[in-house]
Amino acid sequence: MLTQPTKGFYWRLLAALLIGAAGVFAFAPFAWFPINWLSLGGLFALLGAETEGARSPRRGALLGAAFAFGLFLAGVSWVYVSLSVFGGMPAWLAGLATLLFCLVLSLFPALAGALFVRLAAAGWLPRVLLFASLWTLAEWLRSWVFSGFPWLAAGYAHVPPSPLAGYAPLLGVYGVTLSAALSGALFGELLRVALRAPGRGREERTRCLPALPLLALALLLGAGALLREVRWTQAIGEPVSVALLQGNVAQEIKWRPERFADSLRTYYRLAQENPAQLTILPETALPAFLDQIPAEYLEELRKLALRQQGELLLGIAVAEGRQYFNAAVSLGSTPSQRYSKVHLVPFGEFVPPGFAWFMAMANIPMSDFTAGAARQPHLQLAGQKVAVNICYEDAFGEEIIGALPAATLLVNISNVAWFGNSLAPAQHLQIAQMRTLESGRMMLRATNTGMTAIVDVDGRVRSTLPPFTRGALVDEVQGYSGATPFVRFGNWPAITLSALLTGLLALLRRPL
């Protein structure tokens, strides 16, 4: 029979799982960002309970893992959709693969939970700082270990209107994560004090007044709100007319040979009906290699671009010998230019060693691309210096700034039709909002089925097309010059600060 402490821990484990799952409501499409503070604050309180009495880093790891497993299982369930519904994988294997994927992602918060229980010192301030720094380091590790999966990092919940968005140009998404984890831990500390105070004497309650945590929280949020008013970059040149084309070609029919001509007609008609100086087609808009597209069709697209003395950017696969690249190719008034995707998606765009058997059970066309060169020049399009990124490359902010501060405009082309009518398209748009804040540049997003959008330099979505509709998003956009602190220094200030805090608090730790 289980002892009472063990039973109590199992209830805390269940609470961590549910709190983590509820945390998904802080992210798009719900975007209730205060839930992120409550969710992280709940985890902080649960981990804090493990530091009272006999410390058990193992239990801390289990609580961190349960919280993360709940978050990822609720937040990236679209992995199952891509593998089973569109990838053709047996449902049982797709489900198992999704569960294992979420478990692997949970290892990083598990490490943070174990270290927190092991290192936490007495006093609210060391605990709050330790929790925030460990959580930030765990999310940063997740962004590059095993090629990286930074999706649902806490910072992404805090695009406008969150006051914490003001920290993004300074410290990037992990600086925002640090501020979000600090805010959450402060909420957790306030909750802990409020719950304990009623059972204490008057003098003890006075000592427990949460004035300092409340003041720290107010200063953190207030500073972020003030930083939102700072403009780090400046408009340069004249506005440019753009047309972002959304063909809405269903993923299940896109690669059928009999639908090829229809795809060509769809995008030609959209470009023809929506003239602009810069026309952008989504990732792999035309389901073939570039050299398989009729030369006369490409010439007609080029002529459409020339009507405005402009350019057309086409997402398409390019073959070179036995290698092929996920690329964006320009047609128009300047000689053709190309960007080849650098950060490929494991299992979706390349097969990790030893997993050929796994991919054989799925039906994912073009799932073995070659990565493009790490450093590629920006594209000169319609008078703008354009930094192109393809699909989930825009989830890696430090890679995006490689083309800055020279580039004046960011362009993302994506095909998230693989994930159907799930949370993925809205979450991806939220990630793009963070990139504009970090870089001080506008972002143009052309997608196959949604969400095609223009994100302004302040991180707000200016305009968007409804998902799963066919159309063009036409507007004028502005190029920007200059560099935010994040463009100059990348993630290192936030990560260095988190590492120094963790090291210092570990050294200063004293027994409770």
Structure tokens at 498: 């988190």
What's the rounded Cα separation, in Å, for the pair 27 and 423? 9
| Angle value at C-alpha 176, between 508 and 28, nearest 5 degrees | 135
DSSP string covering 459-502: S-EEEEPPTT--EEEEEEEEEEES--HHHHHTTHHHHHHHHHHH
SS3 assignment, position 373: coil
What's the rounded Cα separation, in Å, for the pair 89 and 362? 5
What's the rounded Cα separation, in Å, for the pair 331 and 22? 46
Contacts of 41 (CB under 8 A, 6+ apart): 184, 185, 186, 187, 188, 191
E-strand stretches of 407-465: 409-414, 443-447, 453-455, 461-464
Task: For strands 461-464 and 453-455, give the pairing.
Answer: antiparallel
Query: Positive or negative CA dihedral for 426, 428, 429, 434?
Result: positive
Q: 219: number of CA atoms within 13 Å, CB side? A: 8
What's the rounded Cα separation, in Å, for the pair 391 and 381? 20
What's the rounded Cα separation, in Å, for the pair 214 and 128? 12
DSSP string covering 26-37: GSTTT--THHHH
SS3 assignment, position 222: helix
SS3 assignment, position 387: strand
Q: Point out the residues that are catalytic.
A: 283, 341, 391
